[in-house]
């Protein structure tokens, strides 16, 4: 009896303890850091089946080299084509001899042509949103040109491209020229108002640059915003951490650093028209004045004038960009509709049916207050 | 082994009830509340909690009135033997179905987020076999387990939520009270049904030593669970906004996917969340499983409940495999569990209390 019990226990342990379907050793995982997705276009190469629609490029680091122990290439890049995203990834797995692992993916880069194709773009968005592996903190970036080019860039400094892009995106703390938009914001904004912006990435031979923004409307890309327009939009969305600005006063170009910006947006109805009101508050430091011009920077009234000049500049810029968004894109990128729904539900009920037509006719009012706080260490 | 395992304190009862109420529902609660009430979701949760407090009062009145009597005994006293037996049989069926639902939904979540290649069946069988071990041991080990698990689950969950806080936006709750009151009242069942599990008090309070504290501790249960719910619902909606909360299958899990501790090595903390959530679901499963085997033993007048534990496995397993996919599983939940739930949670306690009050009054008159 005792022996039988022992036998049963040992047989059970063989069956129960050993099995593990999901075990993947760490050196058999490909930690994909960056994904690039392009529209498949090369129709001449298309074979009979004619099913290729996407080109997907993945990049993952050679974990051995990163840890300083292994040798060889610091990163691996693979490209494949196929009908949809998961097909391609499964196809890639057969080439890698590793299991692709997306939990540490830092960024997804979409080619410009793909982003302009509504059907493909919506498919890609759904893949990303539906995936349990991809978090909402990753960056969705649209490339000018092809995404593959970005992944093929060999940067001098940081070898893991995904981490590098993430570090570049961290620069949003310092400059507002990069659109501060992660996947969570993009998805939420697209659900809420069918419009959003994503950062834009441009590559050259051995470096790339993230600046400016792509405008999404009705689930496709409809245009670009320049770096300065992106900055203004960041002002409107209250996502500025700090910004640079030049003011000309008495022929002296004064460089200012704008910090501690907070923007309050109010949308309301006034005499039958919808008004979007931005109330910007900020502080400034003087970074550059002019050598041997004495006494000016430490004069309160002078500083106040500089502040007002800066405020005037910002005000004009915001107005221009707002007009541009209205006229060129008809896209409610500032989420005025959402604000209206939250704060003025009665007005929203009247306009929500044709908000797309009403938004381009809204008026904009801007109030800016910039206080110059510090003038550096010289008088 | 001298086992004196059929007595628990009322504090332990509160712990068992708390971990039983918090189960698979919490993952989708923000979505269903947001669907029902939009920006007024938090009001809906508060209103639902008030209703549950009344139910807790009714249930505790019954169980304190019939001190340490089992469910079958007091229902026989109140409504007669045949109906009493029927109610108890119904409860065991309810327990079996609920255990099956918990097992299936838990397996679905694990498969979706953690074990992509492991068959659902294997996940469920492992879960069920572990719970058999606890269920066979009886009420006291279950109570102790609940006492250990409840603090772990709540404290870790709250700690993990802290990194979300900088990114939340309370304006998602505007405009306030624009939902018609009638609609709010109509959607009250959403919140009430998320408290399913409180009726387990009807079964478990027979083990309680200090019956006079049951009422207080049931209030504590409702309070604790309502706090957890309120916290999760408000943070999730404040993070995602109404539109997106409605769009996500399990917003509570998705919430943790937005966490990204800057500069830290820790990523993907939703996996930790699933791990502690499995503990909570495990306790829910155990409670329902235990109540099923216990009520069967009462009906058949067998002293030990543990003979019925293993034979129930195939039934629970089979029921859990019935739905084809998650959507159908949720459909089944709506159809069966909600009817059973409303009956055992609201109708039965009120009817029993009502009849017993009338009878007592009648006797006094006679």
Burial string for B293-308 (b: 16+ CB within 10 Å, else e) reads bbbbbbbeeeeebbeb
Q: Nearest CA to CA, how far is B261 from chain A (Å)? A: 10
HSE, CB side, 13 Å, CA atoms: give it for residue A43. Answer: 0
Asked if residue B185 belongs to a domain, the reply is yes
Residue whose tokens read 């830290």: B264
* Burial environment of residue A68 by CB neighbours within 10 A (0 to 12, 13 to 18, 19 or more): exposed
Residue B335 gets which letter from DSSP?
A: I
**Nearest CA-CA partner of A75 in A87, A66, A86:** A66
- CB-CB under 8 Å, A188 with B241: yes
Given phi > 0 = left and psi -120 to 50 = alpha, else beta, which region is B138? left
Q: What pLDDT sits at residue B290?
A: 93
Q: What pLDDT sits at residue A353?
A: 83
Give the distance from CA B281 to its chain's centroid.
9
Asked if residue B359 belongs to a domain, the reply is no
Q: What pLDDT sits at residue A45?
A: 59
Asked if residue B92 belongs to a domain, the reply is yes
Q: What are phi and psi of A73, to 5 degrees?
A: -60, 140
Q: What pLDDT sits at residue A332?
A: 86
Residue A159 gets which letter from DSSP?
A: S
Interface test with A, best of B243, B251, B253 (most A CBs within 10 A): B243
Q: Does A363 touch chain B (CB under 8 A)?
A: no
Q: What pLDDT sits at residue B73?
A: 85
How do A252-270 and A273-288 pair as beta strands?
antiparallel
How do A273-288 and A139-143 pair as beta strands?
unpaired
Q: Which chain A residues are closer than 8 Å to B119 by Cβ?
A: 21
Please compute the mean of the pLDDT values over residues B48-70 and round it to a whole number.
Answer: 88
Asked if residue B261 belongs to a domain, the reply is yes
Residue whose tokens read 């009849």: B355
Give per-residue pLDDT as tens, B76-86. 888 888 888 99
Residue whose tokens read 């692709």: A100
How do A208-217 and A273-288 pair as beta strands?
unpaired
Q: Which chain B residues are closer than 8 Å to A187 by Cβ?
A: 244
Q: Does A23 touch chain B (CB under 8 A)?
A: no
- CB-CB under 8 Å, A191 with B247: yes
In a structure prediction context, what are the per-residue pLDDT tens digits for chain A, which is 379 residues long? 788 989 988 888 777 666 677 777 777 888 888 899 988 876 665 565 567 888 888 888 887 777 777 677 778 888 888 888 888 888 888 888 888 888 888 889 999 988 888 888 999 999 988 888 888 888 899 998 888 888 887 776 666 777 777 777 777 667 778 877 888 889 888 888 888 989 888 887 777 888 888 999 888 888 898 888 888 888 888 888 788 888 888 888 888 888 888 888 888 888 888 888 999 898 888 888 888 777 666 788 888 888 888 899 889 988 998 888 888 888 888 888 888 888 888 888 888 888 888 888 888 889 999 888 887 777 6
**Nearest CA-CA partner of B17 in B312, B284, B289, B342:** B284
- CB-CB under 8 Å, A136 with B257: yes
- How far is residue B256's CA from residue A184's CA, in Å, rounded to a whole number? 12
Do the Cβ atoms of A57 and A38 come closer than 8 Å? yes
Residue B212 gets which letter from DSSP?
A: G
Give the distance from CA B73 to its chain's centroid.
24
**Nearest CA-CA partner of B17 in B147, B189, B158:** B147
Q: What pLDDT sits at residue B313?
A: 92
- How far is residue A132's CA from residue A244's CA, in Å, rounded to a whole number? 39
Q: Which chain A residues are closer than 8 Å to B118 by Cβ?
A: 20-22
Which strand (E) or helix (H) includes residue A275? strand A273-288
Interface test with A, best of B180, B248, B258 (most A CBs within 10 A): B258
Q: What are phi and psi of A95, to 5 degrees?
A: -90, -30
- How far is residue A169's CA from residue A208's CA, in Å, rounded to a whole number? 12
Please give the ipTM for the structure prediction.
0.80
The token pair that represents B16 in the structure block? 């068992």
Distances (CA, A) of B54 to A148, A203, B8, B139, B338: 62, 65, 24, 26, 19
Nearest CB to B115: which of A21, A103, A136? A21
Q: What pLDDT sits at residue A47?
A: 60
Q: Is the pLDDT of residue B366 over 50?
A: no
Do the Cβ atoms of B318 and B104 come closer than 8 Å? no
Nearest CB to A103: which of B112, B119, B268? B268
Q: Which long-range contacts (CB under 8 A, 24 or more apart) does B79-87 make?
A: B79/B352, B79/B355, B85/B299, B87/B348
Q: Which chain A residues are closer than 8 Å to B174 by Cβ?
A: 342-343
Mean pLDDT, chain B, rounded, equals 86
Give the distance from CA A338 to its chain's centroid.
20
Do the Cβ atoms of A141 and A179 come closer than 8 Å? no
Q: Is the pLDDT of residue B287 over 90?
A: yes
Distances (CA, A) of B26 to A211, B97, B223: 41, 19, 15
Q: What pLDDT sits at residue B27?
A: 87
Asked if residue B113 belongs to a domain, the reply is yes
List the 155-194 stretch of A: residues with Cβ below 8 A of B.
184, 187-188, 191-192
- pLDDT category of residue B226 using cuts at 50, 70 and 90: very high
- How far is residue A13's CA from residue B157's CA, in Å, rounded to a whole number? 34
Segments in B248-269 forming alpha helices (H): 251-257
Burial string for B172-209 (b: 16+ CB within 10 Å, else e) reads bbebeeebeeeebeebbbbbbbbbbbbbbbbbbbbbbe
Range among A248-262, B44-58, B113-127 with highest mean pLDDT value: B44-58
Q: Nearest CA to CA, how far is A293 from chain B (Å)? A: 44
Centre a 10 Å sphere on the Cβ of residue A313 and count the other Cβ atoms it contains: 17
Task: Give one DSSP letter per residue of A280-338, joined into a string.
Answer: EEEEEEEEE--TT--SGGG-HHHHHHHHHHHHHHHHHHHHHHHHHIIIII---TT-HHH
Q: Which residues contact A324 (CB under 8 A, 6 or more apart)?
A: A229
- How far is residue A327's CA from residue A322's CA, in Å, rounded to a whole number? 9
Q: Does A106 touch chain B (CB under 8 A)?
A: no
CATH of the domain at B15: 1.20.1740.10
How do A139-143 and A107-110 pair as beta strands?
parallel
- CB-CB under 8 Å, B267 with A188: no
Domain count, chain B: 1
Q: What are phi and psi of A59, to 5 degrees?
A: -130, 130
Between A84 and B14, the more confident residue is B14
B176-B180-B186-B191 Cα dihedral, nearest 10 degrees? 0
Centre a 10 Å sphere on the Cβ of residue B121 and count the other Cβ atoms it contains: 12
A181-A187-A191-A197 Cα dihedral, nearest 10 degrees? 30
Distances (CA, A) of A262 to A133, A229, A294: 34, 18, 32
Nearest CB to B257: which of A22, A135, A345? A135
Which strand (E) or helix (H) includes residue A105? none
Find the farthest-apart pair of alpha carbons in chain A and give their distance in angstroms, rounded: 104
- CB-CB under 8 Å, B244 with A343: no
Nearest CB to A22: which of B115, B244, B254? B115
Structural domains of chain A, ranges and CATH numbers in brackets: 24-225 (no CATH), 231-374 (3.30.300.210)
Asked if residue B215 belongs to a domain, the reply is yes
- CB-CB under 8 Å, A132 with B112: yes
- Walk across the sheet containing A195-203 and list its strands: A75-82, A54-61, A34-39, A107-110, A139-143, A195-203, A208-217, A220-225
Q: What pLDDT sits at residue A74?
A: 77
Do the Cβ atoms of A177 and A227 come closer than 8 Å? yes
- CB-CB under 8 Å, B39 with A22: no
**Nearest CA-CA partner of B20 in B134, B119, B159:** B134
Q: What pLDDT sits at residue B147?
A: 92
Give the distance from CA B151 to its chain's centroid.
16
Q: What pLDDT sits at residue B1?
A: 36
Q: Does A342 touch chain B (CB under 8 A)?
A: yes
Q: What pLDDT sits at residue A173?
A: 66
Task: Give one DSSP letter per residue of A45-69, joined into a string.
Answer: T--TT----EEEEEEEE-HHHHTTS
- How far is residue A347's CA from residue A211's CA, in Å, rounded to a whole number? 36
The token pair that represents A53 in the structure block? 């629609």
- How far is residue B181's CA from residue B92's CA, in Å, rounded to a whole number? 37
Q: Nearest CA to CA, how far is B317 from chain A (Å)? A: 18
- How far is residue A175's CA from residue A70's CA, in Å, rounded to a whole number? 37
> Per the omega criterion (within 30 degrees of 0), is the bond before B290 cis?
no
Instruction: Domain of residue B29: give its range.
Output: 10-351
Range among A16-20, A242-246, B122-126, B314-318 with highest mean pLDDT value: B314-318
Asked if residue B365 belongs to a domain, the reply is no
Asked if residue B1 belongs to a domain, the reply is no
Q: What pLDDT sits at residue A19?
A: 61
Q: Nearest CA to CA, how far is A127 from chain B (Å)? A: 14
B108-B109-B114-B119 Cα dihedral, nearest 10 degrees? -10
């Amino acid at each position: 009896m005792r022996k039988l019990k022992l036998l049963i226990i040992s047989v059970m342990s063989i069956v129960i303890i050993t099995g593990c379907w999901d075990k993947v050793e760490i050196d058999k995982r490909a930690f994909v850091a960056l994904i690039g997705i392009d529209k498949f276009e090369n129709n001449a190469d298309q074979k009979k089946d004619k099913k290729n629609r996407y080109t997907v490029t993945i990049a993952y680091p050679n974990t051995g080299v990163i840890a300083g122990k292994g040798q060889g290439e610091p990163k691996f890049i693979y490209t494949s084509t196929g009908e949809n995203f998961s097909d391609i990834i499964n196809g890639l797995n057969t080439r890698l001899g590793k299991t692709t692992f997306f939990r540490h993916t830092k960024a997804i880069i979409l080619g410009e042509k793909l982003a302009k194709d509504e059907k493909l773009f919506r498919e890609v968005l759904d893949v990303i949103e539906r995936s349990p592996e991809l978090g909402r903190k990753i960056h969705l970036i649209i490339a000018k040109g092809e995404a593959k080019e970005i992944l093929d860039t060999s940067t001098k400094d940081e070898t893991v491209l995904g981490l590098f892009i993430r570090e570049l995106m961290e620069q949003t703390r310092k400059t507002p020229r990069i659109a501060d938009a992660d996947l969570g914001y993009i998805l939420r904004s697209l659900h809420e108002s069918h419009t959003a912006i994503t950062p834009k990435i441009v590559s050259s031979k051995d470096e790339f640059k993230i600046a400016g923004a792509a405008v999404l409307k009705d689930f496709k890309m409809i245009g670009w915003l320049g770096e300065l327009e992106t900055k203004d939009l960041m002002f409107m969305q209250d996502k500025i951490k700090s910004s640079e600005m030049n003011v000309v006063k008495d022929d002296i170009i004064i460089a200012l650093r704008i910090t501690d910006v907070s923007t309050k947006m109010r949308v309301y109805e006034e005499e039958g028209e919808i008004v979007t009101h931005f109330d910007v508050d900020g502080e400034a430091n003087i970074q550059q004045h002019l050598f041997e011009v004495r006494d000016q920077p430490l004069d309160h009234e002078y500083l106040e004038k500089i502040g007002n000049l800066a405020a005037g500049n910002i005000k004009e810029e915001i107005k221009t960009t707002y007009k541009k968004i209205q006229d060129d894109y008809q896209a409610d990128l500032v989420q005025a509709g959402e604000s209206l729904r939250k704060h003025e539900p009665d007005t929203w009920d009247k306009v929500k049916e044709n908000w797309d037509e009403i938004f381009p006719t809204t008026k904009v009012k801007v109030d800016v207050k910039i206080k110059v706080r510090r003038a550096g260490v010289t008088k | 082994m001298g086992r004196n395992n059929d007595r628990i304190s009322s504090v332990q009862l509160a712990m068992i009830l708390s971990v039983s109420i918090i189960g698979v529902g919490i993952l989708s609660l923000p979505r269903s509340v947001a669907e029902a009430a939009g920006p007024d979701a938090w009001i809906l949760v508060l209103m639902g909690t008030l209703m549950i407090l009344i139910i807790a009062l009714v249930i505790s009145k019954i169980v304190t009135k019939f001190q340490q009597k089992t469910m079958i005994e007091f229902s026989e006293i109140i409504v007669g033997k045949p109906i009493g037996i029927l109610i108890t049989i119904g409860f065991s069926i309810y327990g079996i179905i609920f255990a099956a639902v918990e097992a299936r939904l838990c397996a679905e979540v694990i498969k979706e987020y953690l074990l992509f290649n492991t068959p659902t069946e294997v996940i469920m069988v492992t879960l069920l076999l572990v719970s058999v071990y606890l269920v066979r041991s009886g009420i006291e080990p279950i109570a102790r387990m609940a006492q250990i698990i409840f603090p772990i689950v709540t404290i870790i969950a709250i700690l993990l939520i802290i990194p979300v806080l900088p990114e939340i936006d309370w304006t998602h709750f505007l405009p306030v009270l624009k939902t018609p009151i009638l609609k709010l009242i109509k959607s009250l069942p959403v919140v009430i049904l998320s408290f399913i599990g409180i009726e387990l008090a009807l079964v478990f309070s027979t083990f309680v030593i200090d019956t006079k504290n049951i009422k207080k501790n049931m209030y504590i249960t409702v309070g604790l669970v309502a706090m957890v719910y309120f916290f999760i619902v408000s943070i999730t909606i404040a993070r995602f906004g109404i539109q997106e909360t409605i769009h996500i299958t399990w917003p509570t899990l998705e919430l943790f996917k937005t966490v990204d501790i800057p500069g830290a090595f820790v990523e993907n903390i939703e996996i930790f969340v699933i791990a502690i959530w499995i503990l909570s679901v495990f306790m829910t499963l155990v409670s329902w499983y235990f109540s099923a085997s216990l009520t069967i033993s009462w009906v058949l007048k067998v002293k030990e409940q543990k003979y019925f534990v293993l034979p129930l496995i195939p039934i629970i397993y089979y029921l859990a495999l019935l739905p084809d996919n998650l959507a159908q599983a949720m459909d089944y939940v709506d159809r069966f569990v909600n009817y059973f739930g409303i009956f055992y949670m609201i109708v039965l306690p009120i009817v029993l209390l009502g009849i017993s009050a009338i009878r007592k009054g009648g006797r006094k008159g006679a």
